[in-house]
């Protein structure tokens, strides 16, 4: 069984690994990545043009059914905070507020 690498969004650095080859020809050719083992860890060798930027040292991994989605882990969160993402009003409602502890120094 081969693992094929299909582009989802090169701009976002998101790639989807699938375990099935498509049954019909697509206009965008699929690129193949090699899967192997190194020091007891499974590895995926990304072909040129599908590699992460040299600055990417870690990726987030999430599973979507049989797919594995790799997303670069940000080195800082300034982009996230600048994006204007907001939480709901009840975001912390279920978390218990503990009293401040008195500490002896």
Range of the domain at 77: 4-82
Is the model's pLDDT at 11 over the cut of 90?
no
Which of the two residues, 6 and 53, has the higher pLDDT score? 53
Is 62 inside any structural domain? yes
Give, in order, the Cα–Cα distances in Å from 105 to each of 34, 44, 72, 94, 99.
Answer: 57, 51, 42, 32, 18
Residue 96 lies inside a defined structural domain of this protein: no
pTM above 0.95, yes or no: no
In the DSSP assignment, the letter for residue 28 is S
> pLDDT confidence of 88, banded at 50, 70, 90?
confident
Residue 10 reports pLDDT greater than 80? no
Number of structural domains (the chain) is 1
Asked whether residue 87 is domain-assigned, the answer is no
CA–CA distance, 32 with 34 (Å, rounded to integer):
7
Reference 32, options 65, 4, 69, 10; nearest CA is 4
What is the tens place of the pLDDT at every residue in 34-71? 999 999 999 999 998 889 999 999 999 999 999 999 99
CB 6, CB 16: distance < 8 Å: yes
Q: Is the pLDDT of residue 73 over 70?
A: yes
Asked if residue 20 belongs to a domain, the reply is yes
């Amino acid at each position: 069984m081969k693992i094929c690498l299909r582009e989802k969004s090169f701009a976002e650095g998101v790639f989807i690994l699938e375990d099935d080859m498509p049954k019909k020809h697509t206009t965008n050719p699929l690129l193949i990545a090699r899967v192997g083992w190194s020091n007891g860890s499974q590895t995926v060798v990304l072909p040129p043009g599908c590699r992460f930027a040299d600055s990417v040292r870690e990726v987030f991994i999430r599973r979507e059914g049989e797919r594995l989605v790799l997303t670069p882990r940000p080195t800082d969160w300034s982009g996230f905070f600048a994006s204007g993402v907001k939480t709901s009003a009840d975001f912390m409602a279920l978390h218990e507020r503990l009293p401040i502890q008195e500490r002896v120094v």
